[in-house]
């Protein structure tokens, strides 16, 4: 039975530079990069060396702890760089595009006619499996687990987020094929959580064999963890798998076409973008080629949204899970009379230390300044205003800081992911790097309880 979930806690941060709903000319990137650092706790093992020729779907590296989980090239070409960090940790694998569009061949079939093992094998061998993540721990799903349910989010409420309905429009067949594949992976329900704030695209509302839930409310209503908490929360000992609906399109194309089609539409957004728009490119694309001639100086490049995305260099590459490239104003300059509490009409605050509460719908050009430095973590009531889970967020974060695993378990760590705390971090007067604390704690609990 479908559910209507109304999220009341949270806030929409309206930034200037929202993408116009039109597609620019597709960009064929000259190279791509896959970054093992996009996958928490992953210890990669290389399957290629510099100079190797690969096709789209060829294995570049795999998970050392579970060699079933493969990471494959989005394009055909030549491996040109393998960049390493401290202790020879693999940071990047770069593939130069040869323009030939050669693909490895995988099983092409209607997933509804396949067995669970056949579907799983196709997802694993093609390198599409890493799109499936799990709660607890917010890591790549273990293919040996039996999830009690699978949740697919078809909306994003983060600042400058892409419109999933616009991107998915007309791709009904691919979406349905992807959903049919997911239904084979669990004996429980597959939930498709769609936008309840506006009319969702027919590709989502017409989906079959899934439970369609309408989600409405301010950010973080679009976070799959928030949706899951209000529909069917995960408890200790349970596993739930989660996906982005746009990644389900990739899964569907795998079964419809028998190949790993890593093309995707990226929303190029932000105040430093001259013409915010959607660009069709490929997973791991080169940032410089996406923004060429379309950005102003003095911007920070973020793969993802400004709250929880990852900073990348101007000549860097998009991260694995992101459908958004944000270019916002770089901070670094001290504000005149910065010690005064009020930020004026151009600032934005979750409290009334800014005049922004008088114009909540105004789009703003906000920079990356934190307007303060880390201080004693003693405030109360701030996190609870924007954290729509029945969890005590401050208590949980403090339990994470002191690494008290029993207390973390009792306070609900198995339900959360770093992105769920992004608004808490944004509005924190103590300037605590909450998302980093959450990620570190999740890795610790996984290590100690596995």
Note the pLDDT of residue 373. Answer: 83
Asked if omega into 220 is within 30° of 0 (cis), the reply is yes
Q: What is the pLDDT of residues 237-258, one digit of tens each?
A: 999 999 999 999 999 999 999 9
Residue 341 has pLDDT above 70, yes or no: no
Note the pLDDT of residue 358. Answer: 63
pTM of the predicted protein model:
0.95
Is the distance from CB of 227 to CB of 212 less than 8 angstroms?
no
- Name the nearest CA neighbour of 427 among 389, 361, 371, 363: 371
Residue 359 has pLDDT above 80, yes or no: no
**Which of the four pLDDT bands, split at 50, 70 and 90, describes residue 339?**
low
Structure tokens given for 227 = 């949706």
Is the distance from CB of 240 to CB of 134 less than 8 angstroms?
yes
Q: What Cα–Cα distance (Å) separates residue 87 from each residue in 41, 43, 90, 220?
A: 16, 12, 9, 37
Q: Does 161 or 332 have the greater pLDDT score?
A: 161
Residue 291 has pLDDT above 90, yes or no: yes
- Name the nearest CA neighbour of 249 among 171, 320, 352: 171
How many Å from the N-terminal Cα to the C-terminal Cα in the chain? 34
Q: What Cα–Cα distance (Å) separates residue 88 from each residue in 45, 49, 91, 270?
A: 12, 14, 9, 35
Structure tokens given for 39 = 């996958």
Note the pLDDT of residue 338. Answer: 57
**Which of the four pLDDT bands, split at 50, 70 and 90, describes residue 356?**
low
**Residue recorded with tokens 């989005």:** 74
Percent of the chain with pLDDT over 70: 95
**Which of the four pLDDT bands, split at 50, 70 and 90, describes residue 128?**
very high
- Give the C-alpha separation, 385 to 1, whole Å: 30
Query: Which range, of 129-143, 256-270, 282-296, 329-343, averages the lowest pLDDT?
Result: 329-343
Note the pLDDT of residue 376. Answer: 87
- Give the C-alpha separation, 395 to 192, whole Å: 31
- Give me the domains of the chain, ranges plus CATH numbers: 4-15+132-257 (no CATH), 265-358 (3.10.20), 382-449 (no CATH)
Q: Exposure pattern of 105-134 as b/e (b: 16+ CB <10 Å)?
A: ebbeeebbebeeeebbbbbbbbbbbbbbbb
CA 122 to chain centre: 23
Dihedral sign computed on CA atoms, order 399, 402, 404, 409: positive
**Which of the four pLDDT bands, split at 50, 70 and 90, describes residue 378?**
confident
Structure tokens given for 222 = 């679009």
Cα–Cα–Cα angle for 312, 38, 226, rounded to 5 degrees: 105
- Give the C-alpha separation, 142 to 151, whole Å: 16
Residue 318 has pLDDT above 70, yes or no: yes
Query: Which range, of 112-121, 214-223, 350-359, averages the lowest pLDDT?
Result: 350-359
Mean pLDDT of the chain: 94
């Amino acid at each position: 039975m479908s559910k209507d979930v109304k999220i009341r806690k949270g806030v929409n941060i309206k930034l200037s530079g929202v993408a116009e709903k039109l597609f620019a000319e597709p960009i064929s990137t000259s190279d791509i990069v896959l970054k093992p650092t996009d996958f928490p706790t992953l210890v990669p093992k290389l399957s290629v060396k510099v100079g190797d020729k690969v096709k789209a779907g060829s294995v570049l590296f795999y998970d050392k702890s579970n060699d079933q989980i493969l990471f494959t090239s989005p394009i055909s070409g030549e491996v040109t760089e393998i960049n390493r960090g401290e202790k020879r940790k693999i940071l990047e694998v770069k593939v130069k595009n040869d323009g030939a569009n050669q693909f490895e061949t995988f099983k092409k079939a209607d997933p509804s006619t396949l067995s669970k093992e056949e579907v799983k094998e196709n997802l694993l061998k093609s390198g599409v499996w890493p799109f499936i993540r799990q709660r607890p721990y917010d890591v790549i799903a273990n293919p040996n687990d039996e999830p009690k349910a699978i949740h697919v989010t078809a909306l994003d409420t983060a600042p400058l987020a892409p419109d999933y309905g616009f991107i998915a429009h007309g791709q009904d067949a691919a979406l349905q094929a992807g959903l049919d594949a997911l239904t084979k992976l669990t004996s429980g329900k597959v939930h498709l959580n769609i936008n309840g704030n506006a009319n969702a695209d027919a590709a989502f509302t017409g989906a079959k064999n899934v439970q369609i839930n309408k989600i409405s409310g301010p950010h973080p209503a679009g976070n799959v963890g928030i949706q899951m908490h209000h529909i069917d929360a995960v408890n200790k000992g349970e596993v739930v798998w989660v996906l982005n609906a746009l990644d389900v399109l990739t899964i569907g194309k795998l079964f419809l076409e028998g190949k790993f089609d890593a093309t995707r539409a990226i929303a190029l957004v932000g105040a430093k973008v001259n013409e915010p728009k959607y660009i069709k490119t490929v997973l791991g694309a080169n940032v410089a080629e996406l923004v060429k001639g379309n950005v102003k100086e003095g911007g920070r490049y973020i793969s993802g949204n400004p709250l929880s995305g990852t900073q990348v260099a101007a000549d860097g590459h998009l991260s694995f899970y992101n459908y958004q490239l944000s270019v916002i104003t770089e901070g670094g300059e001290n504000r005149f009379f910065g010690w005064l509490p009020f930020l004026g009409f151009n600032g934005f605050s979750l409290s009334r230390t800014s005049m922004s509460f008088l114009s909540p719908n105004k789009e703003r050009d906000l920079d990356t300044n934190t307007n303060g430095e880390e201080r004693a973590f003693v405030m109360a009531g701030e996190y609870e205003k924007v954290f729509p889970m029945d969890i005590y967020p401050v208590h949980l974060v403090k339990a994470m800081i002191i690494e008290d695993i029993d207390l973390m378990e009792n306070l609900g760590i198995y339900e959360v992911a770093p992105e769920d705390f992004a608004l808490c971090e944004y509005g924190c007067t103590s300037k605590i790097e909450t998302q980093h604390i959450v990620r570190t704690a999740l890795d610790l609990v996984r290590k100690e309880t596995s």
